[in-house]
Amino acid sequence: MSYGNHQRSFEPCIEIDNVSLKENLRTWYPATIEELSEVMRMLKMALEDIVGCDAEMSRLSSRREELIRCTEKLSSLLSPIRRVPDEILCQIFLHCCAENDLRYRKPGEALALSSVCTRFRELVISYPALWSDLKISFPSDDIGYDLNMGIS
């Protein structure tokens, strides 16, 4: 990760506060051929600067979005849940998953917890007590059977 990379790839060519331009705009006299040529040159430079500004703004906008994503990731590293020991999380999970009901096409609590993040997934999968009480239904033509398996 690089810090403080503040490159500027765009430098405007035209001077916006051009004194002679302001003076010419205040007169009613027609411009000479040389002045018209200079105005055309300045107009071309200004249009090129606009294109350059647009490109720089796009680059900076992309950089800003990258920085926002980076700050979100860095902030997540400071989350208090990261400091809770695995043993305590497992006890919390056990309380939440008193019964894993896998009927009715919905995920049980243990399955839902395992999809939160990698750490939760590893804990849920490796903690057998969460999987000791499952309710599963098997569809039948006439009757739905519920199995309550208590595995200790």
Q: What is the mean pLDDT of each run of 10 residues along the chain (152 residues)?
A: 60 75 78 87 92 94 96 93 94 80 67 89 89 66 50 46
Q: What is the C-alpha to C-alpha distance for residues 71 and 5, in angstroms, rounded to an integer?
A: 16
| DSSP-derived pairing of the beta strands 145-150 and 133-138 | antiparallel
Tell me, what's the pLDDT at 24? 74
Question: In the block, which residue shows the tokens 């239904």?
Answer: 137
- pLDDT at residue 104, as a whole number: 62
Half-sphere exposure of 68 (CA within 13 A, CB side): 6
Predicted pLDDT of residue 129: 84
